Chain A
Amino acid sequence: MNNNPIQPELKELMKGSLPQMDTTLQRDLWPQVEARLGERKRRVVPVRLKWWEWALAAGDLGAAYYAPEAIPALLYHI
């Protein structure tokens, strides 16, 4: 069995049908990278809270409203 996976007749067909790529980069890509990095920094990640976190916050606010003397204790446990 032929141990060389390169098959000359297939190579000839491939080379005759698909050109070698020009590997020279035609322009400086730094401006694109800089712009994308800037976009990423400007993008504000929205804070997403689960329903029970909202419920807990509402409970704390309620407790602070009806029992203001509990505020120091609530602050202590934050």
Chain B
Amino acid sequence: MTSGRNMDCALALPELRAVNGQPDELLERFARGDEAAFEELFRAFQRDVYAWIVQIIRDPGVAEELTVETFLRVHRSRQRFDSTRNFASWARRIAVNLAISHLRKNRPEVPSEEAALANFGAWQADSAVAGDIQEKVRQAFAKLPAPERAVAALAYIEERSHEEIAVSLAVPKGTVKSRLFRASRLLRKHLAKLGVTP
């Protein structure tokens, strides 16, 4: 089981094989529609799914809602699930697709200075970057298209490697690199318009 793991490692590759390492009896029961098996899988994976989503969405409340929605979709599609496949990869794909599509539909509002202070005031006070520049960086970040925003958040803020991001977003490593190039170019462009030159 995967519960109680250190979530800082939630993107690490070996974690994905947690259920496949066991006899797949649990997955067979789940695919047959056994509600207890679904609850067991939920309890084993809710923390992982939340961790995948919150790093992309960057809003704990929305990440909780999308975690619930991910498992509702998992439940709805359980009869189509092949119990010889990796449950974590399947759930991750559903979660990431939901997160990216949420980013597409809801461009994040740039938090006001008061909201930013309320959310991460202590962290902000420690930051070496001046408050007005922080605000402009947040504005530039919010303007990125959804796939580039997800990659930029994982690479620049969460400091994930290209391999981890590729696994996390279920895309090839080359796609991660090209999205990151594009995100960096757009960030520089938006920042320059706001009078910030990195």
Q: Is A14 among interface residues, defined by CB-CB distance under 8 A?
A: yes
Which A residues touch B133, using CB under 8 A?
13, 16-17
Choice from B50, B155, B188 contacting A25 with Cβ under 8 Å: B50
Choice from B68, B155, B177, B191 contacting A36 with Cβ under 8 Å: B68
Q: Is B18 among interface residues, defined by CB-CB distance under 8 A?
A: no
Nearest A residue to B69 via CB reads A36
Instruction: Please provide the chain B residues from 140 to 198 with a CB less than 8 Å away from any CB of chain A in the complex.
Output: 141, 152-153, 155-159, 177, 180-181, 184, 187-188, 191, 196, 198
Known contacts A10-B188, A25-B50, A15 near B55 by CB under 8 Å: no
Q: Which of A1-9, A42-50, A56-64, A67-75 contacts B (4 or more CB under 8 A)?
A: A1-9
Nearest CB on A from B71, distance (A): 5
- Report the count of interface residues on A (CB-CB < 8 A): 30
Q: Is A55 among interface residues, defined by CB-CB distance under 8 A?
A: no
Q: Which residues of A does B touch, CB under 8 Å?
A: 5-7, 9-30, 32-33, 36-37, 40
User: Total contacts A to B, CB within 8 angstroms?
Assistant: 112
Known contacts A13-B129, A29-B67, A37-B75, A23 near B156 by CB under 8 Å: no
Known contacts A10-B156, A15-B156, A5 near B50 by CB under 8 Å: no
- Report the count of interface residues on B (CB-CB < 8 A): 48
Q: How far is the CA of A6 from the CA of B160 in the complex (A)?
A: 11
Q: Is B102 among interface residues, defined by CB-CB distance under 8 A?
A: no
